[in-house]
A = this chain, B = another copy of it.
Amino acid sequence: MIHNDTFLRALRREPTPYTPIWLMRQAGRYLPEYNATRTQAGSFMALAGNPALATEVTLQPLARFPLDAAILFSDILTIPDAMGLGLSFAENEGPRFAKTTRDEAAINAIAVPDMAKLRYVFDAVAQIKRALKGSVPLIGFAGSPFTLACYMIEGGASPGFANVRRMAHARPDLLHRLVATNALAVTAYLNEQIAAGADAVMIFDTWGGLLNHDAFQRMSLATMRDVVAGLATASDGSTIPSIVFVKGGGAWLTQIAGIGASAVGLDWTVDMAAARRGVGSRVALQGNLDPEVLMTDRDTVVREASKVLHAAGPAPGHIFNLGHGIVPGTPPENVAALVEAVHRISRETRAPP
């Protein structure tokens, strides 16, 4: 069905002729063609909310670089928006919600949204899937239940998400109620993406790393485990592969590897070799080049990419990626150099002597 299934094979820890690569935020502001479409749409939400335009920007990086997967162009905050919180993106600022979800009454009012309100996302998945014509797999995604709660509680981005951490300590019951509702919503949302054609799904826990160990386990990890356990199987009964990424979760990798996901995403601070020793052969690993490497020069890109590949080692089950999203000012030619280097070096490593 899929012409280049290297990414899916690596997720299953099967041997592949080279290490597959895709990049977080591969469709984004570092590409002039993205900025043109974004301007045409008028706003980020108009872009993400229009399946035809979302398809267009999803495919843009694949037209430039031989990437091994596409990822749905959308935002992690579509779910709280569908819950009625009123998402907007001010120019050059982060996301903003019209309403916050900070007290008991507001949290009790939160319910799993009608998935019909998110139809534009599932339509985008279906349209992208058709446009890909089976070339590479399509990744669907969602924010983690806890990370969604972070934005819902603060009403937007925040340096330390202080209100969230205070609630985790003083009212763990309330925070748990919120993340449990979010977990149901995320599960339904990812399953609709799978039904619409997503070949794999990724859960982004961008802010789990702000919690203390104990609260991380209860508020973030346990709810991601619930989401993974609730994922639909494919029509042939096989499991849809899943990737879980906790930024700042380097100290918790063995626990993260135990929640049932196919792969664990690593941020750039993690020692890939130590991560592999820690998790054994239970999961695939995805990552973990520092995105700032792409802001330097070709030689540095190739050298640092090679380090990541060597740290990952020759065993199957590595998907090359950045340790966080592409930085907006990244020169596209450095991305081209990275994709070429990862494919070439990993092929050479696998070649018989």
- Interface residues, chain A, with chain B CB atoms under 8 Å away: 160, 162, 165-166, 169-170, 209-214, 216, 248, 250-251, 253, 268-272, 274, 288, 290, 292-293, 295-297, 300, 304, 307, 323, 327
Contacts and interface: CB of A to CB of B under 8 A. Distances in A.
Contact of A213 (B212, B213, B269, B296): B269
Contacts of A169: 290, 292-293, 296, 300, 304
Contacts of A290: 165, 169, 212
The 5 closest A-B pairs by CB, nearest first: A250-B251, A213-B271, A170-B296, A165-B292, A170-B300
A162 B290 CA distance: 10
A227 B163 CA distance: 38
Contacts of A214: 271, 307
Nearest to A303: B169
19 contacts: A160-B292, A162-B295, A165-B290, A166-B292, A166-B296, A169-B292, A169-B296, A169-B304, A211-B269, A212-B288, A212-B290, A213-B269, A213-B272, A213-B274, A248-B248, A250-B250, A251-B270, A251-B271, A251-B274
Contacts of A170: 296-297, 300
